[in-house]
Amino acid sequence: MKVVLAAVNSKFVHSNLAVRYLKAYTSDLNYECNIREFSINDRRERVLEEIMNEKPDLVAFSCYIWNIEFVQSLAKLIKLVNSNVEILYGGPEVSFDSVQFLQESAGDYVIEGEGEETYKEFIECKLKEQELSEIKGIYYRKGSEILYGGKRQLMDISKIVFPYNADEDLSNKIVYYEASRGCPFKCKYCLSSTEHGVRFLEIARVKKDLQFFIDKKVRLVKFVDRTFNCNKKNSMELWQFLINLKTDTSFHFEISADILSREEIKLLSYAPKGRFQFEVGVQTTNDEVLKNINRYVNFEDIKEKVEELEKLKNIKQHLDLIAGLPGEDLESFKKSFNDVYTIKPEEIQLGFLKLLKGSSMREEAEKWGMVYSPYPPYEIIKTNLISYEELILLKRVEEVLDKYYNSGKFNSIIKYFENKFESPFDFYYKLGMFFYSEGYLSRSISSVDYYRAFVEFSKKVLNEESNILSEIIKFDYLKYNKKRWMPDFLNRYDLDKEFEKKLKRSLDEKNESEKKNYHIERFGINIMEFLNNGGILGGDYLLAFNENQSEDILDISNL
């Protein structure tokens, strides 16, 4: 018997944890099992060809909101090519309406919920050619009927088999890992609220697993634990372990910032810069809206802890907001946006409520006047307090926020514009509307045009033409792009060649221990004064940009 475990990821760099778990958990069974990973950006015809080239007896798909339509179309194509190939589905997208899904899909089986034990028993039955009726957690076709083996209890998490192997090349992948399953909170929009309790792997086991990634020189390990720091003893011990290691691997955690203790924050202060990334779900700063979704937290508590972490300057923080929550109108969301923006985390994710299958939020849709797409990812279209048109406006804010703020490559330009608007939200709203009116959101534009857009934005929205702005744009452009060429809308002041050589010799003498290649540029304002204090001083200033390190910029005006 030959099985292909097929994962269709949202991006090439992602890896699928679920299919690896299934293969590892059945490694002692006598069958051929291959993992094939693709992305939703691949052509269906190519994916079909590669799967069929495996000559499988069964294809098992890992199903999520981002890939289910792709997966269903693939399953239909597989059946058209060879109707004898059986199709097995699993994952959160098929675990809550399994009968209807199986009735409407080109498939034979659905695994409900956690898959390891159900999948193993399923493969054992197939190998022995036995009936599936005794297997808990599976739906299957029998003639015109769809039968169900009954609910399966959650497994003993210690039985999970480490899903990665030494021969696997993980160098160009984001690797996913979990040290626990479940979540102590009951947020109505989240599928974790359907489980009860949290199950933890033994710490010694987790340390051993993490050492594997470090030895493999994995670039980024993302913990999929819903609230990594819900057990202080565990989080402290694992953070201490990772802080003490010598490695370039980064680790991403979803945390609840409000429950961070002083002891944890002190420990985190010793983390090497870049070692940790934190994702913090704020969702809204409106306490009433938080109650509506069963999140009993206070934004001020979150803000206090996030700001303490920001002061450490060694941990990248990503804060999440959700638009379309029950009881929140546009004005309330604007306040949430501005509240979060004042913290100035490295990234702000503006997401939109999704009414997932199995979530209690979907059951309350009528109560809140929620209209949502019947197609994955089941995103909110409107509520009784926020209209479709208002959500579309927020989509435009999301696009420019992600491109400009979250990239971190336009910080000086953003600093220039922020004070020209009543609030941060107003700036991104105006910028988003400008991008929409100019057609930038409906076509691809060059990296240079993302800088040029600010010149046009200033002219058309603020009625301002400013040499100061041009100098600030020039600074951000040179910081992150090739230095030898400058776009035609920016000024480049001539620098005497002999004088430039003299400056570079002086820089070389200052950096004798480390050879650095600097590019020297002349500016008409004091950029460093603007960045540090917000002041604008005209004059003649020289900056040296390290060609290989974007953050290494020296003011050499007095050299």
Q: Superfamily assignment of 164-383 in CATH?
A: tm_1862 like domain (3.80.30.20)
Angle between helices 44-52 and 68-81 (to 10 degrees): 50
Q: What is the pLDDT of residues 449-492, one digit of tens each?
A: 999 999 999 999 999 988 999 999 999 999 999 888 889 999 88
User: What's the whole-number mean pLDDT along residues 183-187?
Assistant: 90
How far apart are alpha carbons 36 and 192 in whole angstroms? 27
User: Residue type for 164, please?
Assistant: Y
User: Domain residues of the chain, as ranges?
Assistant: 2-148, 164-383, 387-491, 493-559
Indicate the pTM of the whole model.
Answer: 0.92
If one counts every other C-beta atom within 10 angstroms of the C-beta of residue 100, the result is 11
C-alpha closest to that of 490 among 540, 442, 524, 519: 524
How far apart are alpha carbons 141 and 108 in whole angstroms? 6
**pLDDT score, position 387:** 98
If one counts every other C-beta atom within 10 angstroms of the C-beta of residue 39, the result is 16
Q: List strand residue ranges (DSSP E) for 262-327, in order.
A: 276-283, 315-323
C-alpha closest to that of 275 among 234, 242, 226: 242
Please state whether 59 falls in left (phi above 0), alpha (psi between -120 and 50) or beta: beta
Q: What is the pLDDT of residues 46-66, one digit of tens each?
A: 999 999 999 999 999 999 999
Q: What is the pLDDT of residues 242-265, one digit of tens each?
A: 999 999 999 999 999 999 999 999
How far apart are alpha carbons 90 and 22 in whole angstroms? 11
pLDDT bracket for residue 194 (50, 70, 90) = confident
DSSP state for residue 539 in the 8-state scheme = E
2-148 domain in CATH 3.40.50.280? yes
User: What's the whole-number mean pLDDT along residues 176-201?
Assistant: 89
Q: Residue 402: what are its φ and ψ, rounded to 5°?
A: -65, -45
Segment among 330-339, 383-392, 494-503, 537-546 with least mean pLDDT: 494-503
Q: What is the pLDDT of residues 271-300, one digit of tens each?
A: 999 999 999 999 999 999 999 999 988 899
